[in-house]
């Protein structure tokens, strides 16, 4: 609710999806004076996965002045490893964006 992601979007595509990650990232940008909005949604486990979205499925999204984009990742490992990898990759996106190595 805080990020303004419509319940109808979550009901249609699921909370773990590119669309929801992008809506979350856009919501971060709209919350205050910031250049980027970064969002991560996923299934870190140990339960909660499905055939379509197994444990380790993570979507990372970045909302920037030049556009919003996302990517699906499939991480392996224990819950804390999946969480750490997700955070590491998300922060690396920010680093690469400011070095002009990442763009929508």
* Count of structural domains, the chain: 1
pTM here is 0.94
**Does some domain include residue 104?**
no
Range of the domain at 36: 7-98
Q: What is the pLDDT of residue 102?
A: 81
Digit-coded pLDDT (tens) for 31-69: 989 999 999 999 999 999 999 999 999 999 999 998 999
**Does some domain include residue 1?**
no
Q: What is the pLDDT of residue 71?
A: 98
**Does some domain include residue 66?**
yes
Q: What is the pLDDT of residue 65?
A: 93
**CATH number for the domain harbouring residue 59:** 3.90.950.20
| Cβ-count burial 2-24 (b if 16+ within 10 Å, e if not) | ebebeeeebeeeeebbbbbbbbb
State mean pLDDT over 77-101. 96
pLDDT band for position 81 (cuts 50, 70, 90): very high
Round to whole Å and give the CA distance between 25 and 98.
17
**Does some domain include residue 35?**
yes
């Amino acid at each position: 609710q805080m990020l303004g992601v419509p319940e109808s979007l979550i009901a249609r595509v699921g909370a773990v999806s590119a669309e929801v990650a992008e809506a979350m990232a856009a919501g971060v940008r709209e919350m205050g004076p910031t250049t980027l909005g970064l969002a991560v949604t996923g299934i870190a486990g140990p339960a909660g996965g499905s055939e379509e979205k197994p444990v380790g499925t993570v979507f990372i999204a970045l909302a920037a002045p030049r556009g919003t984009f996302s990517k699906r990742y499939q991480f392996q490992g224990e819950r804390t490893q999946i969480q750490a990898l997700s955070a590491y990759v998300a922060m690396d996106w920010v680093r690469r964006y400011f070095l002009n190595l990442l763009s929508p």
